[in-house]
Amino acid sequence: MTEQWHEPRARFGFAEVTGPSMVPTLVHGDQLLVDYRATFRTGDVAVLRHSLQQDLLIVKRLAERRGEGWWVLGDNPGADGDSRVFGVVPPELLLGRVRSRFRPLGEDQRSVLGVVSWLASAVRPVLADRSVSRRLRAR
């Protein structure tokens, strides 16, 4: 996810997902509702600044607290670009918690059945995954 970051004036804002790192939870093109005043807990999906390239915004799951920061992981274990590459993320780089996602209608969903299927799943809350910390320790 790339975009220019400006301090939010409102509590909520929108962001767009680019890339495969959060599949299956989020896919390329998903629109996210981001809460910029939320508190963070293990398992939450967050928008944050990349540790090594702070003009780049990314979306990752907060796997666990480590010392003074967060260990963040993508939900797609085959994709890179998370704490396995850049280490612990300081809390000041966390910008907001993802509350829900909107998945735009795809080109292959133009039939009546496709539109009905899309309507059933287009808007979903993005929930914390409480098992992420246990999975991390099991690796």
pLDDT in tens, 14-72: 999 999 999 999 999 999 999 999 999 999 999 999 999 989 999 999 999 999 999 99
Residue 92 has pLDDT above 60, yes or no: yes
45 CB-near residues (< 8 Å, 6+ apart): 22, 25, 26, 59, 60, 61, 62, 97, 98, 126, 128
Q: Tell me which residue of 129, 97, 121, 79 sits closest to 15, measured CA to CA.
A: 97
Q: Could you tell me the CA-to-CA distances from 25 to 69, 82, 97, 129 in Å, in that order?
A: 23, 16, 14, 10
Maximum mean pLDDT: which of 8-12, 32-36, 102-106 = 32-36
- The encoded tokens of residue 12 equal 């909520």
Distance CA 47, CA 11 (A): 14
Across 70-98, average pLDDT: 95
Largest CA distance in the chain: 52
SS3 call for 65: strand
* Phi, psi at 135, each rounded to 5°: -65, -40
